[in-house]
Structure 1
């Protein structure tokens, strides 16, 4: 049993949308196929992965560093103890040889993308959905019912309040009970008007979360917090720079509601520093670490261990990214839910065909691996790379 090839292609996911910090007019993503020599149901097992939106494709790092470290390793050194499957932890260690600690940068995205594909292959070799494999390994009961919220509400050329409200209404009509919109890309008065328009539109049918994408300095953050605290928001997300823990801690004094952050922290050390110094409150705040951007599930397991040591429940984790990998982690390891992009970043966002949102939750289908084969538009793109 061995990995015979690792293939990467950089794909455009460009869109005219923007948040408070970046636009997506030239956004790309890496798609990876980990090809094995294992055959299941007459087809060679291939694991697939891709990086989350907001970070660009990682083809250079994947092809120049991480791919060859796996392919050059002794195949037996990448297997589990009984040789019956690949070992994601050993493969991760092979990728990270000769890498200095710290300075995570973009390499965490490259490693996380390959790691996703490795776990997809491992679960397919065991002929199990990844969420059930993860639950079995943790000795817990998998819960196929996962909370999901709808992310959108981007700034868009010509998009007025009516269009924004229509977008949010469409999510509620599709079964979501929490919807999210962007703020910080306009004046505070304009954002307040947009928020009030959406709250009027959704009424008591859903809750609204707002996301500033790390835009605010302390003075602006305080002004927004004082404005926002009058509304029954689900959370106030990424208030300031993700590494400004002092700003994050200060916001707890001005914003009594729930805060959320973590999507731009890329290691268990970053997570530990956020909890130690960021003033996050385990009774109400949310952590959004995204395995696809932060060295993969191998590192995410370390992050969950750190959170446990610091008194945080995994149920306070709702990952960024809107991908099926985090859905599997949520169902298998008991996270609080997952982000969803019902209309954006296709074909990578969304769920397998036929999966519906009901009362803010989806039921995971019993598909081997991560379940990419159940999403017809996505698996077509993936198989084109593998074949």
Structure 2
């Protein structure tokens, strides 16, 4: 078997929302189709992938470097030991030929997007949901029940407290018991008002997480930490620059509640530095590494192996991104859950049709591959790329 073609297209996922750092008015992502010569039901098997929101489309980089390397390789060098399926690690190594270490930046997003499509194809060829394929390969039982939380609470023009509460009520009505609110795009007094307005409407067992998107310097991060200690929050996320491990360590000393970070660390080495120097506490804190932004599942498995050497459980990992790839990793490799965007970044966010949220848990459907075809609006967009 072989890869016949790799296609990509840039799609807009623009929105008038903003967090503490960026607005999404010009946001895009890349969609990739890996077309194979394996025929099922009269059609070639195609794997799909896309990058998470917040990092823009990576088409030029993929077309200039990574796709040509894969297509120029001897097809036999990309196969597993059976010769009947792709080996994602070999495809990954081919993409990274002549790439220097370090300086991960946008390169990790381009590779992670293609890697997602490769894994989708591999699981489809194996005729298994990706989460069951991963569990089988790692000698573990898959758990199709996955914790999810609703990411929202963005700043929006004219959005007052009542509109914010309406948004959170909608998430509760959808079945979520944990929601996330953006902070840092206003002053502390206004953010406290926003937080309290949501906390006041939550019922028993319902929790709120907050996310500063890396906005704060040390003084601001600690000022918010002091103020946030008044609340029982699910977590306080990404207070400062993701590579400022000293700030992170100081925050962990000052704030006794759970901290979350890692979505903007794009390699196993960077993740290891966070564990070594960021003061993260394995009994309460959360790691948000996102495979779609950090070289894909091939690299993410290395990150999980690294975490195990520091006695971190994979259950402390709840990836950023809100995509079905991380849902499959969570179910197959025992992560703590996954982010979800019930309303935003459509059709790329959300779950397959018919999947319901109950007390912030979903049950994975038994769909081959990542399961994209189970979400009709997304499947239509993907089919338009592979059928051109």
Q: Normalising by the residue count of structure 2, what TM-score does the alignment of the two structures yield? A: 0.99
Instruction: Please give the alpha-carbon distance, in whole angstroms, between the structure 1 residues aligned to 2:57 and 2:91.
Output: 21
Equivalent residue number for residue 275 of structure 2 = 275
Q: What SS class does the counterpart of residue 135 from structure 1 fall into?
A: helix
- Which string of whole-angstrom CA distances, capped at 9 and with x for unpartnered residues, describes residues 120-173 of structure 1? 000000000000000000010000000000000000000000000110111011
Residues 325-336 of structure 1: matches in 2 within 5 Å? 325-336=325-336
* 1:278-320 CA distance string (max 9 Å, x none): 0000000000000000000000000000000011000000000
Secondary structure of 2:198's aligned partner = helix
The answer to whether residue 34 in structure 2 is matched with residue 57 in structure 1 is no
**Which residue number in structure 2 is paired with residue 117 of structure 1?**
117
Measure, in 2, the Cα distance between the counterparts of 1:247 and 1:189: 22
TM-score (norm 1): 0.99
Distance 2:343 2:65 in 1: 34
Q: Which residue of 1 aligns with 2:126?
A: 126
Mapped pair 1:216 → 2:223:
no
Judge conservation of contact 1:323–1:349 (CA < 8 Å) in 2.
Answer: yes
- Asked if the contact 1:214/1:240 (under 8 Å) is kept, the reply is yes
Matches for 1:1-387 after TM superposition, within 5 Å: 1-387=1-387
Q: CA deviation at 1:42?
A: 2.1
Query: What's the offset of the Cα at 1:254?
Result: 1.4
State the shift of 1:203 in Å: 3.1
1: CA distance between counterparts of 2:163 and 2:26? 24
- 1: distance between equivalents of 2:106 and 2:253? 33
State how far apart, in whole Å, the 1-side matches of 2:317 and 2:70 are: 30
User: Does the Cα contact within 8 Å between 1:172 and 1:205 map onto a contact in 2?
Assistant: no
Deviations 1:195-224 (A, max 9, x none): 000001123251000000000000001110
Aligned residues: 387
**How far apart, in 1, do the equivalents of 2:342 and 2:85 lie?**
34
Q: SS in structure 1 opposite 2:201?
A: helix
Give, in whole Å, the separation in 2 of the partners of 1:80 and 1:254. Answer: 49
Mapped partners of 2:324, 2:208: distance in 1: 23
CA separation in 2, counterparts of 1:380 and 1:248?
42
On the 8 A contact 1:58/1:110 being kept in 2, the answer is yes
C-alpha distance in structure 1 between counterparts of 2:227 and 2:252, whole Å: 14
SS at match of 2:292: helix
Determine helix, strand or coil for the equivalent of 1:136.
helix
Shift of 1:252: 1.3
**Contact 1:133-1:332 at 8 Å conserved across structures:** yes
Partner-residue secondary structure (3-state), 2:200: helix
What do you get for the CA RMSD once the two structures are aligned? 0.5
- Long gaps (5+) in structure 1: none
SS of 1:103's equivalent in the other structure is coil
| Runs of 4+ displaced beyond 3 Å | none
Q: Deviations over 1:248-283 (max 9, x none)?
A: 000012110000000000000000000000000000
Per-residue deviation, 1:41:
2.3
